[in-house]
Structure 1
Amino acid sequence: MKEQTPANITFGLLAKLPKSELQLLVKEYIAYSGKVKYVYYFIFGFFAIVMTYNLVFAGRSFPIHDYKNIQNTMVGVVGIFLLIFLGVAGYVLAKLIRLKKRINSIAEKCRLNKKALRSEFHLFVKTTIGGTGIK
C-alpha cells in the first residue's frame, strides 16, 4: 500500500467546491490560525506571572499590611489577565465556530457530507497551511 504524503493526498470533496468558496474558507482559516497563537501567549503569560510571584514573594516574611497589599495586587493582576484571556479565547472560538458553520452551509449548498467535508478541509489546511486545524 502506498504511503500517503501531502504530495499524493487527493481532496475529492474539496475539488467539487467552487473556487471562490474554497478561497474564502482558506482566508477565514488563515485569520483563525493567526489568532490562535495569542491564546498560547496568554497561557504562557499566566504561568510566567505565577512563577514570578513564587520566585519573588512566596516563602518570604512580610508585615501583614504589606502582605495584604501584595496579595490584593496579585489577585487584581491575575483577575484582569484572566478576563482578557477569556475575551481573546472567546474571540478565537467564535472565529472557529463561524468557520465550521460556513463549511456546513457550503456542504448543504453543494449537497456534500458535512462531516466528510470538514474532515477533508481539516486535512487540507493541516498539510498545506499548518496550524491547529478545525477538528
Structure 2
Amino acid sequence: MFINEKICKKCGGKCCKSYPGIALPKDFGNNKEEIFQKLTQALKSGKWAIDWNDRKKEEYFVRPAVKGKENLIFDHSISGECVFLTKTGCKLKYNERPSGCLLLEPKSNEKCKQHLSKRQAIEEWSKYKDIIIEAVINAEEIEISGK
C-alpha cells in the first residue's frame, strides 16, 4: 500500500482526474458469495462499473464509475474523473479504496508508478466471470423492481 497524502494533495489528484483506480475481487470480499453480494450492491449504487480490455474475450474488470457516467453498469471510458474524487481528496476510507488506488505509488515529480496493471486485474477477475455476470443481472433486476 502506497499512501502519501502530502504528495497527492499537492498535485490535486491528477491520476484520479484522468482515470479511476482498478479494483480486484478481494476488494469486495473473501469468498464468492461475499464478492457477489458486495459487487451487486456496488453496481446498484451507480458508483461502480464493469470495464473491459477485449469484450469478445470477456476480459472484464471492475472500477469506480467516471463522473458523468454514473449508473452505467458497463462503461469503457478511456479517461475521466473518478466518481469518488472530491475537492479535498478521495471520499473513500483507505480500506474501501480499490487495490489500483492503494498500489499507485505517489511521486513528487507527478510520475506516479502503478503497481497493478490492467492485465493483472483482468487475470484476477477472470476467475469470477460468473460472479460479474450474476451481479450485473441482480443489480439490474433490483433497479427495475424498485420502480
Q: After TM superposition, is the score higher than 0.5? A: no
Q: TM-score when scaled to structure 1?
A: 0.26
Tell which has more relative contact order, 1 or 2 (C-alpha 8 A, sep 6+). Answer: 1
Q: Which has the higher strand share?
A: 2
Higher Cα Rg, which structure: 1
Q: TM-score when scaled to structure 2?
A: 0.24
Q: Which has the higher helix share?
A: 1
